[in-house]
Amino acid sequence: MCAMTLERMEHIRHVTDQLRQIDKQIYCEYDTRKSPSLENVSKHSIGTVSDPVRDAVHAVDVLEQRKAECLQEMLIFEQDLSEIGNNEIEAIIRWYYLLGYGWKETSRMVYGSCDYFRARNTLRRYLAKE
């Protein structure tokens, strides 16, 4: 089990943000409205034109591979999170770092109030004890 540090939790928050961006990029690759028009392709010489479908498939393959890596990191983090043994702290970490909610939304989900500092300070006190 890896220690639950603030740096590790911030890293996993960036991983979840990156995962959302990868999903958006994959969607854009499948969006046919963004594919090049025939007139743009015909302006280039025949030797420099690449197959847009092949390029899109390659881009999606690369993005899917990165997505799988992100999901694997999140799975390991989730397994370590379940070993904390404090349901309140687990919920705070899950809502804020894994699901990407803000501190106000996290406090609302955990405590039922929209206090910005309550969940944040609870987590900081927990980390100071560890």
Residue 122: what pLDDT?
94
Supply the pTM of this predicted model.
Answer: 0.74
- 6 and 25 share a domain? yes
Distance CA 77, CA 13 (A): 11
The reply to whether 64 and 3 lie within a common domain is yes
Total domains present in the chain: 2
When pLDDT is cut at 50, 70 and 90, the band that residue 35 belongs to is low
Helix (H) or strand (E) holding 124: helix 116-129
pLDDT class for 40, splitting at 50, 70, 90?
A: low
Domain that holds residue 111: 86-130
CB atoms within 10 A of CB 4: 21
Once rounded to an integer, what is the mean pLDDT over residues 120-128? 93
Q: Do 74 and 117 sit in the same domain of this protein?
A: no
Same-domain check for residues 64 and 111: no
The arithmetic mean of pLDDT across residues 35-58, rounded, is: 59
Mean pLDDT confidence for 26-52: 59
Average pLDDT, the chain: 83
125 shares a domain with 92: yes
- Mean pLDDT over 29-43 rounds to 57
Same domain, residue pair 36 and 68: yes
* Whether 38 and 5 share a structural domain: yes
User: Residues 94, 62: one domain?
Assistant: no
Is the separation of the CB atoms in 115 and 104 below 8 Å? yes
Question: Which pLDDT does position 34 carry in this prediction?
Answer: 59
Residues 28 and 73 in one domain: yes
Confidence of residue 26 (pLDDT cuts 50, 70, 90): confident
Average pLDDT over residues 5-9: 90
